[in-house]
Amino acid sequence: MTPLTCAECRERLPEYGAGSLADHQSIKRHLGDCAECRREAALWREVSSAFAAEDTSIPPDTSAAATWTTVRARVHAPGQVRAESGRMTLTRSSKLDHIGAPVAGDTSPVRGEERPAPRWRSYAAVAAVLLIALLSAAIFGVMNGHGRATMVTAPKTCAPSQMKATLPAYASVASISMVSATDGWAVGEVYDHQQDAIPPQTLLLRFQNCAWTPTGDTIPTAQLYKVAMVSATEGWAVGATTKRQAISEDLNGHFIYDWEADQPFLLHYSGGQWRRVELPGVQRVIGVLALRMVSADEGWLLLDHGGVHTDPYTKAYSYTLLHYQHGAWTPVPLSFKEPTTILWDLVATAPNDCWIVGYGTALSDGGGLIAHYSGGDWQEWNGTIGGVRTYTYYTVAMTSTHDVWAVGNPMLHFDGKTWTSAGAPALSQPGGSDLMSATMISPTEGWAFFSPGPLPNRSNELPVLHFTDGEWQEQRITVVSPVHIESLSNLSMASPTQGWAIGAISIPTSYGAAVRGVLVYYDNGAWAVPPGQAG
Amino acid sequence: MADATNAEELLAQIASGDEEALCQLYDAFRPRLRNYLWRQLHGDANAVEEALQDVFVAVWRTAASYRGEARVATWLFQIARYRALRLRHNRHDADLDISLHSLDEAEGLAAVQGRVLGDSHEDRVLDRLALTQALDMLSPKHREALYLVSRQGFSLEETAAILDVPVGTIKSRMSYARKALLAALTGAPKEGGVA
């Protein structure tokens, strides 16, 4: 055997010092002859010991049993799907009754034992402040023709191969709203994760003539979350200003900053112009969950203020629901909500009618949550709904008030009178993912998409659920893309067979991976990322 | 501690729906994963438990897709790291406080400069303190690579798989860490740049 050089030896000394090197005879021989490498071997042994000493400062493990109980409950939750021989199979467990531990939200840690008494804050004072007349404070931008519906004549029909996107570098799309096969809007942000001193700015894209292009109108130090068009001439978008916050440190030990949401604001598209509309009195948000317009005169906005610990094991989450009517956004009390309830999505298609889904996180209110607002009153379902034990709901989709899908674990359908899981098989959650986004194209067809899996996707194949022939079926779709797509979301249909969705791609940053949204074209079952989004 | 063969057997049993096997794997790997996640999540106990839950739920759901291309431990740490990253960057916690590493590099270097590894008990205690300070001064990425190799016993190749980088990058990080540690302990200047 050829003796090792010092360089070869030193390369393996860290493993040798940790005692994990399987073939260490050649190292030992070299150390016998080389005092310099022996000193370095001592260093690596000390490093190993120093880490071991550091680990002793970690508090004693007292949660092993409690966490195992929750793991056990989660793996037995109905609708869990397990990978088997390269394909996903549906399982429906009946063991839950034997577990002895109620199951709370799917992703939350240890739960509190008692549900706090309802103490959702009174909205009276907030309402006084939030009776928001439309404050068309500033003209956000003039669309120079491409924003004017009256200018769109003889729209060009596009073949899939003609689709393209001319996006600025570091653009990330967050939401899409198609008006027709030839007209649509998308919003998001432009932000370079490697240049964290430079704030994000809003991204506003228009789809016309087979191409997505930025309008040129931006708001600095802000990002847009959602867009909801009512027609070619009327629509809304919602965003938030951002503020810089230290989140980690870089390779040299310097702080890394990120820009987090702060004050929300709206953009109103009318008369061919986007105008900024402030939301005075609304507290800081950490995100926007939903913006849904029913008509030019009515819409809903659900804002997320995040959670705060009320004790080491319990968090209270707060949200603001705004209802647009009579030209003003006014708050609607979420009277059904417990402090520990997490809300995720809202959908609305009819006047004075909306649906919200989420789940409880306390042991006493654990399980899926569905709330229906109708004419000023809330009706709530949670836990066991329609005879089915529910767990988590992250999204809701509907085509009418007689066709509502609570999408999650398990999938439930509302026919206008009752919730039922009949005809909706248990849904898969491959790799620990959850169903996070769904779009019903019609009462007979819909798509549901999972969150990214536990590991980076190494192919352009994605598991999805497709509602067709009266049932949800698992499919693996291929996204034609130059980059790996981690997940899909936010499918907005432009016609019965064509639409646009957002694909999440993972981009490396100095602190790990971040997600960026790209535009994905959907054409009758085929999915593709059009060129022009490489930045 | 489950050895490699035993862990693979457990995973096969989990793939066939054996909950007891999952429990054994949990017992075997929880301490190591908890220590690792404790560092990754800056000591946020709730987040650590949440990540641990997610890891073993993901194992249950995807055990059949394990192809044996990596050791079970490597696979588990891959999942744990990815869950930790997602928790750190996607959480909806308005109040989650990240305790940031704040040791000033120059000050820290000055504090430990001049130390060399000695032989007496006192020297060794001082050396340990100096080494701990030197380790603290490494960037998170270098420290993470060093921790996985030196404390968790992963090979350079396995560490590369866990961190999802080429093995050459791990070698560079180890080389940089070595130089930084030697510089801190002996006062010698660091060579080269950051990997």
Q: Considering only CB atoms, which chain A residues are within 8 Å of B82?
A: 454-456
Is there a contact between A82 and B93 if contact means CB atoms under 8 Å apart?
Answer: no
When comparing pLDDT for A141 and A474, which is higher?
A: A474
Of the pLDDT bands very low, low, confident and very high (cuts 50, 70, 90), residue A20 is confident
Interface of A with B in 432-471 (CB under 8 A): 432, 452, 454-456
**Burial of B57 (C-beta count, 10 Å sphere; 0-12/13-18/19+):** buried
Confidence at residue B192, expressed as pLDDT on a 0 to 100 scale: 40
Report pLDDT digits (tens) over A519-529.
999 998 899 99
Q: What is the mean pLDDT of residues A307-311?
A: 77
3-state helix, strand, coil in chain B (%, to 5): 70, 0, 30
Q: Half-sphere exposure (CA, 13 Å, Cβ side) for A258?
A: 18
Percent of chain A with pLDDT over 90: 43
- Spatial separation of the C-alpha atoms in residues B159 and A510, rounded to whole Å: 18
Of the pLDDT bands very low, low, confident and very high (cuts 50, 70, 90), residue A249 is low
Q: What is the mean pLDDT of residues A175-197?
A: 91
DSSP per-residue codes, A143-175: -TTTT-GGG--SPPP--GGG-EE-PPTTEEEEE
Question: What are residue A467's phi and psi, to 5 degrees?
Answer: -90, 110
CA–CA min distance A288, chain B (Å): 11
A72 near B CB under 8 A: yes
Beta-carbon count within 10 A of A353 CB: 17
Question: Among A77, A78, A79, A89, which Cα is nearest to A463's?
Answer: A89
Which residues are CB-neighbours of A215 under 8 A, at least 6 positions away? A141, A143, A146, A147, A204, A205, A206, A274
Confidence at residue B107, expressed as pLDDT on a 0 to 100 scale: 29
- Spatial separation of the C-alpha atoms in residues B61 and A433, rounded to whole Å: 10
Q: Are B92 and A287 in contact (CB under 8 A)?
A: yes
Beta-carbon count within 10 A of A531 CB: 11
Of the pLDDT bands very low, low, confident and very high (cuts 50, 70, 90), residue A86 is very low
When comparing pLDDT for A258 and A431, which is higher?
A: A258
A65 near B CB under 8 A: no
CA distances from A210 to A87, A187, A530 (A): 36, 17, 10
Q: Are A530 and A164 in contact (CB under 8 A)?
A: yes
Interface of B with A in 98-157 (CB under 8 A): 98, 100-101, 103, 105, 117, 127-128, 131-132, 135, 137-142, 146-147, 149-151, 153-156
Confidence at residue B128, expressed as pLDDT on a 0 to 100 scale: 61
Which residues are CB-neighbours of A258 under 8 A, at least 6 positions away? A196, A244, A245, A247
pTM of the model: 0.62
Q: In this complex, which of A71, A107, A513 lies closest to B26 when CB atoms are compared? A: A71
Candidate from A194-208, A313-327, A394-408, B111-125 with smallest mean pLDDT = B111-125
A492 near B CB under 8 A: no
- pLDDT in 10s for each residue of chain B, 195 residues: 456 668 888 988 998 888 889 999 999 999 999 999 998 888 888 889 988 998 998 888 888 777 776 788 998 998 898 888 877 765 544 333 332 232 223 223 333 333 334 444 444 444 666 777 788 888 888 889 999 999 898 999 889 988 888 888 898 888 888 888 877 776 544 444 333
Q: What dihedral do alpha carbons A283, A286, A290, A295 form, nearest 10°?
A: 40
Q: Considering only CB atoms, which chain A residues are within 8 Å of B83?
A: 432, 454
Mean pLDDT of chain A: 79
Q: In this complex, which of A52, A252, A455 lies closest to B194 when CB atoms are compared? A: A252
Tokens found for residue B38? 């404790």
**Burial of A220 (C-beta count, 10 Å sphere; 0-12/13-18/19+):** exposed
Report pLDDT digits (tens) over A168-181.
999 999 999 999 98
A70 near B CB under 8 A: yes
Question: Among B161, B73, B66, B85, which Cα is nearest to A452's?
Answer: B85
Q: Are A309 and A298 in contact (CB under 8 A)?
A: no
Q: How many CB pairs under 8 A join A and B?
A: 215
Confidence at residue A392, expressed as pLDDT on a 0 to 100 scale: 84
Residue owning tokens 């996707």: A457
Q: Return the residue of A nearest to B127 by Cα.
A: A46
Residue A68 scores a pLDDT above 60: yes
User: Checking DSSP bridges between strand A341-350 and strand A328-331, what pairing results, if any?
Assistant: unpaired
Confidence at residue B87, expressed as pLDDT on a 0 to 100 scale: 76
Tokens found for residue A324? 């647009």
B13 near A CB under 8 A: no
Report pLDDT digits (tens) over A226-238.
999 999 999 999 9
CA–CA min distance B189, chain A (Å): 15
Residue A6 scores a pLDDT above 80: yes
- Which of the residues B11, B25, B57 would you substitute to probe the A interface, choosing the one with the greatest number of A C-beta atoms within 10 Å? B57
Q: Return the residue of B nearest to A41 by Cα.
A: B178
Q: Return the residue of A nearest to B31 by Cα.
A: A61
